[in-house]
């Protein structure tokens, strides 16, 4: 019997509904681009998925949601891993690379109100419209520090579990509102649950929020070539700036760091970075814009974006960001 020569790609993914949706979206995109290949999923549980009784910031360690997937890449059980880029540590294991940054979905945070018997007739056009002393569910120190800066009266309570579980807890009356990434809600068909898209002036998104990325072995040239049409250059520039800032701050995805870059039509790359005290008592903000030369090749523009991120980080550090981050780690 002749062995099949059909190219096959195995995608490592977490088992959560959102992670599976993301992996299936990449699978479908690959099959549309390359109908002759075979693509299968390898669902896995990560350490972050298994620890549900403690805030992630207290669990410690980086790569809570990706380490097991990366092990599957390194030992050959999988060819690629699909990630929410905000969960990917700044430093990757030797032999692996983030080869693709996909077209970024809505990067903003969304406020979600209860439905059903625990719902109230509230009109939310700003975080200032939340009731006095409201209980808001979030396990993100980034969201917490910015929310408490704006509304010190708000009570932030831990919220863990997948999107469906979090929505169920909200509707059961455990919280007056919760905050989730708009991208995840849209991807899972819950766009109608978005009560208010939070203005980034009030709550800047997480680094790389809304952007899917594909990790693979650095020497796997054939797979990289198959994936290349999924790479979105403008999104990659923005993500590069944000991740470079986070890397210089030695941050992970569970610290009070926010970063958001935008690329305008005239090639101006702007980046805003924030580091806050988790009680909301202090919030450092730095912004900068860089006019990129459209004639430079993509590699050079990535280098420029990373330098912008590092410059923002240095200014935040000069203003005391390290002290605030150390306090967050010690809590």
Indicate which residues carry an active-site annotation. Answer: 87
Q: What does 151-216 look like in DSSP terms, one character per residue?
A: -TT-EEE---S-HHHHHHHHHTTS-SEEEEEHHHHHHTT-GGG--EEPPTTTSPPPTTTT-EEEEE
Instruction: Give the CA diameter of the chain.
Output: 72
Rounded to 5°, the CA angle 26-110-57 comes to 80
Q: How far apart are CA 180 and CA 154, in angstroms?
A: 16
Question: Which of 306, 193, 328 lies closest to 257, judged by CA?
Answer: 328
Q: How far apart are CA 231 and CA 242, in angstroms?
A: 17
Question: Which of 234, 229, 251, 216 lies closest to 83, judged by CA?
Answer: 216
Per DSSP, 103 falls in state: P
Phi-psi region of 183 (alpha: psi -120 to 50; beta: other; left: phi over 0): alpha
Q: How far apart are CA 125 and CA 128, in angstroms?
A: 8
Q: How far apart are CA 164 and CA 170, in angstroms?
A: 10
Dihedral sign for Cα atoms in the order 61, 250, 160, 141: positive
Task: Find how far residue 23's CA is from the centre of its chain.
Answer: 15
Q: Name the strand (E) or helix (H) holding 244.
A: helix 233-248
């Amino acid at each position: 019997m002749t062995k099949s020569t059909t190219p096959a790609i195995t995608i490592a993914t977490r088992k959560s509904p959102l992670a599976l949706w993301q992996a299936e979206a990449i699978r479908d995109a690959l099959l549309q681009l390359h109908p002759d290949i075979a693509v299968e999923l390898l669902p896995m549980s990560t350490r972050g998925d298994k620890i549900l009784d403690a805030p992630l910031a207290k669990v410690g360690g980086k790569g809570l949601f990706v380490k097991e997937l990366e092990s599957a890449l390194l030992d050959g059980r999988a060819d690629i891993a699909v990630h929410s880029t905000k969960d990917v540590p700044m430093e990757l294991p030797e032999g692996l690379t983030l080869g693709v940054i996909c077209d970024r979905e809505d990067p903003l945070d969304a406020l979600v109100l209860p439905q059903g018997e625990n719902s109230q007739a509230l009109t939310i056009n700003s975080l200032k419209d939340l009731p006095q002393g409201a209980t808001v569910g979030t396990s993100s120190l980034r969201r917490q520090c910015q929310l408490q800066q704006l509304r010190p009266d708000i009570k932030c309570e831990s919220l863990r579990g997948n999107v469906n579980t979090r929505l169920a807890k909200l509707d059961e009356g455990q919280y007056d509102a919760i905050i989730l990434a708009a991208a995840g809600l849209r991807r899972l068909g819950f766009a109608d649950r978005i009560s208010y898209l939070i203005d980034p002036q009030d709550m800047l998104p997480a680094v790389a929020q809304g952007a899917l990325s594909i990790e693979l072995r650095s020497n796997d040239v054939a797979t990289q070539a198959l994936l290349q049409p999924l790479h979105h250059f403008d999104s990659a520039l923005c993500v590069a700036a944000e991740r470079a800032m986070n890397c210089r701050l030695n941050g992970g995805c569970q610290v009070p760091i926010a970063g958001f870059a935008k690329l305008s039509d005239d090639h101006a790359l702007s980046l805003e970075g924030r580091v806050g005290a988790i009680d909301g008592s202090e919030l450092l903000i730095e912004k900068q814009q860089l006019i990129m030369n459209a004639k430079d090749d993509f590699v050079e523009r990535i280098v420029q974006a990373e330098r912008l991120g590092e410059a923002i980080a240095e200014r935040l550090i000069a203003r005391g960001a390290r002290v605030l981050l150390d306090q967050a780690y010690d809590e």
